Structure 1
Amino acid sequence: MRFPHGHLAYCTNIHPAEDWPSTFQALDTHALRVRDLVSPGQPYAIGLRLSAKAAAELLTGDYLPGFKDWLAAENAYVCSLNGFPYGDFRAGAFVKRNVFRPDWTDPARLEYTKELFTIISELVPEGVDGSVSTLPGSFKEFGADETLIHAQLIELAGFLDALSDVSGRDLHLGLEPEPRGHFENTEETLRFFDRLLDASPDHEQIKRRIGINYDCCHFALQYEDARTSLNALRGEGLRLSKIHLSAALALDPRIPEAVEAISAFDEPTFLHQVLARHPDGRIERFTDLPDGLASLDTAEGRDAEQWRVHFHIPLDAEPAGPLKSTRQHSRDALMLAEEVPDLCSHWEIETYTWGVLPADMQRPVEEQIAAEYRWVLGTNAA
């Protein structure tokens, strides 16, 4: 849907689907029900997640023309794809670090992303730009060769320039910083782009085609301020390809009840990084929630005064105390957009953890998503 800052959608990675038929079934049921709750009678944006398998299938036979016909019949459109999770991304699967595989050193990641852009170039309406979001190059623990990442991103930028010319659409990739990613905060993101630009023979092409998918949950986890971070990225001339409106969990680990409450969010599917801030301002990073919990058995771990935990929770619902939410970061991003009309054209609600939320936080998925839309639109109006 259109809203004052551009196009607003929710990411369909909340619906488990790994092939095209099941992806389409989720759209034809859940996405349309959400549309009827939040945007009846209006053009409706779909933030589409496609696995590598679904993307390859969509490019075969009559699937893509049929999908375009369905979009037209339902008064819906697609202007952004989520291309971060390559493979299985559902409750019950062992996703964890695998969400970063294949990374941007692997040709399979490049080919998958090219397929996604081939698809979005066919789907995005005339006069609307098309984006794909992806991982931040790699995962720190993988020790990736950054020269390989640069080479593949530079190749993709050239591919996108050519595809944009042929399709008449403005196409761009958003690298999504995440805790423990190859780059994860504002400073690391700026330095990565410095090195990428140094490696590229065409700086302007990189800045046109390769940008940032700014996930509010991820930057809040870094204890960063949305206004400061977004302005720093813009100040270097980097493109904000998409903004994810999302929230993480926060707590004081010195409170036993808070530690007990956060333990209920320890589940085996997704990675739940912990960033612990100490009184001296130092931030200690743990790859997953069990690692953070284990640190509390040490004197250094018990010294932390705040934790932020990578578990996407609904924007409209504060968790029960003593846990807290970082949703103010999303609110601040929306407030900055009031002052900077061209901040970003693609906005997406991303709370993919519905299937693994504790039982007392679960609602029917369409009701949850609709409530998050209402929160975003109400915050915007405020």
Structure 2
Amino acid sequence: MLSYCTNVHPAEDLDGVRAQLAEHAAPIRKKLDVDVLGVGLWLAADVAEQLSADPGAVRGLKSELDGLGLAAVTFNAFPHRGFHDPVVKHRVYEPRWTEPQRLHHTLRCAEILAALLPEGGRGSISTLPLGWRTPWTTRDEDAARRNLDRAAAGLRELEDRTGRRVRLAVEPEPGCLLDTVADALAWLPGCDTDYIGLCLDTCHLAVSFADPAATVRAITGSGVDVVKVQASAALHVDDPAAARGELARYAEPRYLHQVRERTAEGVRCCDDLPQAFDELPGTGPWRVHFHVPVHWAAEGPVRPTTDVLRDALAALADPLPDVEVETYTWNVLPEPPEDLADGIAAELRFTRRLLDERSTR
């Protein structure tokens, strides 16, 4: 089921989650004129703890979702808390998979998702690619392996107990331990791939300058499943020197915006957009980790990497995994929308068209 990720909404308590469903998700469903809208829930750590301790509250949330015509089909457990703080940056990668808090939060989310899934549904949970790349030691490597093994064992036990399968989707991201899909494919086969697979974020894929169709072919031959697709778009600019003024409008203080430049010698890297202006040569095209609306039809030097999203979806085999539109940056865009629901509905219509085009090929 196609869904959108609710991490775009700043809610870090249960009342806030309920409010965002009623005030945002339900109006989006009505704008789309569909009987049921998929939502990819983001539950901050405190909300997940509250729900996991109160089965009645989970049943109440399920009832509210049903009444609003919403279906929770996937969770985004990458951000732990504070995702809409004034400055997030590197803190979004904490706690790492080396720490018990990450394991605990993920299994709490899985328990809740299993209870919210539609009858006969499967579930997916996207998570961070181990952590930021530094610091990292062999001891960290061993700890991350152990915790992911424990996560897989917990998901297996959850399925045995509830009959609901929830799988973990590790999401490569520029600058992290698993920076690219290739990094993830080298690491993940050591996990229990019945319960741990890949989250293919098409913004992150674009930033890496990887060929989307070739990447999907590599995944297909790896023994690792794409458990979830995050339909998203990065910024692309052919001439960053000429477009510096336009690019600078996206250098906002809340989130990290990794930059990659393609040169004749290979891809050069910078960890955030403000530094990229000084640290990268600016002679080749740039891709910037800034999730812009996937339907955006920009005119000018800066454009979205919609072609990467289209080509990645076209290359995936049936049955498709969960597809979740994840544009969490609406509120930090240079020109935020007057009506957020209109914007998200337009993204979902656009992504649905891409999926329909795919089915006719």
* TM category, shorter: over 0.9
| Cα shift at 1:381 | 2.8
**What do the CA deviations read for 1:216-238 (whole angstroms, capped 9, x no partner)?**
00011111122111221121111
Q: 2:268 aligns with which of 267, 277, 284?
A: 284
Task: Give the conservation status (yes or no) of the 8 Å contact 2:29–2:36.
Answer: no
Matched, 1:182 2:167: no
Q: 2:126 aligns with which of 130, 133, 136?
A: 133
The equivalent of 2:60 in structure 1 is: 66
Q: What are the equivalent positions in structure 2 for 1:140-289 lying under 5 Å apart?
A: 140-143=133-136, 145-194=140-189, 196-197=190-191, 206-256=192-242, 258-280=243-265, 282-289=266-273
Give the residue type in structure 2 aligned to 1:175: V
Task: Give the conservation status (yes or no) of the 8 Å contact 2:26–2:69.
Answer: no
Distance 1:353 1:335 in 2: 25
Task: Give the conservation status (yes or no) of the 8 Å contact 2:240–2:286.
Answer: no
The equivalent of 1:203 in structure 2 is: none
Give the residue type in structure 2 aligned to 1:375: F
Three-state SS of the structure 1 residue aligned to 2:200 is: strand
What TM-score, normalized to structure 1?
Answer: 0.89
Identity level (%): 34
Q: What are the equivalent positions in structure 2 for 1:314-353 lying under 5 Å apart?
A: 314-337=293-316, 340-342=317-319, 344-353=320-329
Distance 2:136 2:94 in 1: 13
| Cα shift at 1:168 | 0.6
Give the residue type in structure 1 aligned to 2:269: R
Give the residue type in structure 2 aligned to 1:26: Q
Distance 2:274 2:240 in 1: 17
| Cα shift at 1:20 | 1.4
The equivalent of 1:202 in structure 2 is: none
Distance 1:152 1:182 in 2: 16
Give the residue type in structure 2 aligned to 1:293: F
Distance 2:126 2:154 in 1: 16
Q: Do the aligned partners of residues 57 and 321 (structure 1) sit closer, same or farther apart at CA in structure 2, a change above 3 Å counting?
A: same
**What do the CA deviations read for 1:25-82 (whole angstroms, capped 9, x no partner)?**
1011100000111143x22211111110111122344321211111222232212000
Q: Tell me the number of residue pairs that the alignment of Structure 1 and Structure 2 aligns.
A: 354
Q: 2:38 aligns with which of 37, 45, 57?
A: 45
| Cα shift at 1:19 | 1.4
| Cα shift at 1:141 | 2.2
Q: Do the aligned partners of residues 171 and 306 (structure 1) sit closer, same or farther apart at CA in structure 2, a change above 3 Å counting?
A: same
Give the residue type in structure 1 aligned to 2:340: V
Give the residue type in structure 2 aligned to 1:316: H
Task: Give the conservation status (yes or no) of the 8 Å contact 2:124–2:228.
Answer: yes
Distance 1:173 1:185 in 2: 17
Give the residue type in structure 2 aligned to 1:231: R
Distance 1:69 1:323 in 2: 43
| Cα shift at 1:254 | 4.9
Q: Which runs of 4+ in 1 moved over 4 A?
A: none
The equivalent of 2:77 in structure 1 is: 83
What TM-score, normalized to structure 2?
Answer: 0.94
Q: Aligned Cα RMSD in Å?
A: 1.5
**What do the CA deviations read for 1:187-222 (whole angstroms, capped 9, x no partner)?**
21111124x34xxxxxxxx11100111100001111
Three-state SS of the structure 2 residue aligned to 1:142 is: coil
Runs of 5+ in structure 1 lacking a partner? 1-6, 198-205
Distance 1:313 1:155 in 2: 35
Runs of 5+ in structure 2 lacking a partner? none
The equivalent of 1:370 in structure 2 is: 345
| Cα shift at 1:12 | 0.4
Distance 2:30 2:303 in 1: 31
Q: What are the equivalent positions in structure 2 for 1:29-40 lying under 5 Å apart?
A: 29-40=23-34
Distance 1:225 1:74 in 2: 39
Task: Give the conservation status (yes or no) of the 8 Å contact 1:126–1:169.
Answer: no
The equivalent of 1:123 in structure 2 is: 116
Give the residue type in structure 2 aligned to 1:13: N
Matched, 1:20 2:22: no
Give the residue type in structure 2 aligned to 1:54: V
Task: Give the conservation status (yes or no) of the 8 Å contact 1:174–1:212.
Answer: yes
Q: Do the aligned partners of residues 207 and 39 (structure 1) sit closer, same or farther apart at CA in structure 2, a change above 3 Å counting?
A: farther
